Amino acid sequence: MPDAAAAGSAASFGTRLRSAMQKHGQLCVGIDPHPALLESWGLNDDADGLERFSLTVLEAVGEGVAALKPQVALFERHGSRGLAALEKLLAAAAAAEVLTIADAKRGDIGSTMAAYAHAWLADGSPLAADAVTLSPYLGYESLRPALDLAAGTGRGVFVLALTSNPEGASVQHAGGADSVARRIVEAASADNAAADRDGTLGSVGLVVGATVADAPAQLGLDLAALNGPVLAPGLGAQGATGADLRRTFGRAYGNVLATSSREILRAGPDPQGLRSAVESTLEMLAD
């Protein structure tokens, strides 16, 4: 993150993301160094492999997309050395002013949540990213330490609302007209409405899978009223297309940040291959 933002005086995450989306399009590239991908790139499944993999993606496509989203679990597989590789990626992306979303899906009771928030959202933390994914299933309000810290440091959050996996519906659709997902969308919308916003996009985002088809409409979710970014995973490897995104998000589509990992990463390690995969995904999103 640029120094001025670290000092809390710069634009909010929502404003910075809006400007990155206007410049580069609505695509986030996921950095998910799965063992099979490392092998196909000719890299070892170890911390050095993770570092080479991550920095190759950053150098090849980082400055041509709105954001990068490292999948924290795939770094944690390698313990402290894996996390050190993630720290290097986050620092290199910040130096290049490429936005990062740490996909950590954290959620816990408030006192513990404060520690997670510090790890991913505090100025000076070795793992600080521009935004982090959060799981609200201990109650949306349990996330308050992260929501507050993000607001205070010019960072953002993406709260799971309707996840891309088929199992998610059993919890997220529960409750009928007053569904779990709807409560989360409404809580995030209220936070964006209450924030002292310096731009057009709030910094409290949601995760809604590109694969959820007409679930937002069926559940009566007003994603346009969120006035915040919607991170949409599920393109490519999970089967969703650009047309699915437009159908699912309707008038909220302009606030959608589609994210794709394996489909793009399979085109590496050749930087030109990665760039071509990004270009064709961006074309699909713009169609």
Ligand X SMILES: O=C(O)c1cc(=O)[nH]c(=O)n1[C@@H]1O[C@H](COP(=O)(O)O)[C@@H](O)[C@H]1O
Catalytic positions are 105
Q: Which is nearer to ligand X, 197 or 266 (CB)?
A: 266
Upper half-sphere CA count for residue 171 (Cβ side, 13 Å):
14
Q: Which is nearer to ligand X, 199 or 273 (CB)?
A: 273
Q: Which of 35, 2, 5, 27 is nearest to 203 (CA)?
A: 5
CA distance 134 to 155: 13
**238 is a contact residue toward ligand X (CB under 6 A):** yes
Among 261, 267, 269, 281, binds ligand X (CB under 6 A): 261
- Least CB distance from residue 173 to ligand X, whole Å? 14
- Least CB distance from residue 158 to ligand X, whole Å? 7
144-153 vs 110-121: helix crossing angle, rounded to 10: 30
Q: Which is nearer to ligand X, 32 or 51 (CB)?
A: 32
- Least CB distance from residue 16 to ligand X, whole Å? 19
Q: Which of 187, 219, 205, 210 is nearest to 13 (CA)?
A: 205
Q: 60-81 burial string, b = 16+ CB within 10 Å, else e?
A: bbbebbbbbbbbbebbeebeee
**281 is a contact residue toward ligand X (CB under 6 A):** no
Q: What part of residues 151-180 is at the interface with ligand X (CB under 6 A)?
A: 163-164
- Sign of the Cα pseudo-torsion (44, 48, 52, 57, in order): positive
154 in the Ramachandran plot: left (φ > 0), alpha (ψ -120 to 50) or beta?
A: left
CA distance 135 to 157: 10
* Interface pattern 34-73 for ligand X (x via CB under 6 A): -------------------------------------x--
Among 192, 203, 260, 281, binds ligand X (CB under 6 A): 260
Among 56, 100, 133, 142, binds ligand X (CB under 6 A): 133
**207 is a contact residue toward ligand X (CB under 6 A):** yes
Among 136, 205, 233, 268, binds ligand X (CB under 6 A): 233
The answer to whether the CB of 255 falls within 8 A of the CB of 223 is yes
Residues in the interface with ligand X (CB under 6 A) total 18
Amino acid at 104: A
- Contact residues toward ligand X (CB under 6 A) are 30, 32, 71, 103, 133, 163-164, 207, 209, 233, 236-238, 259-263
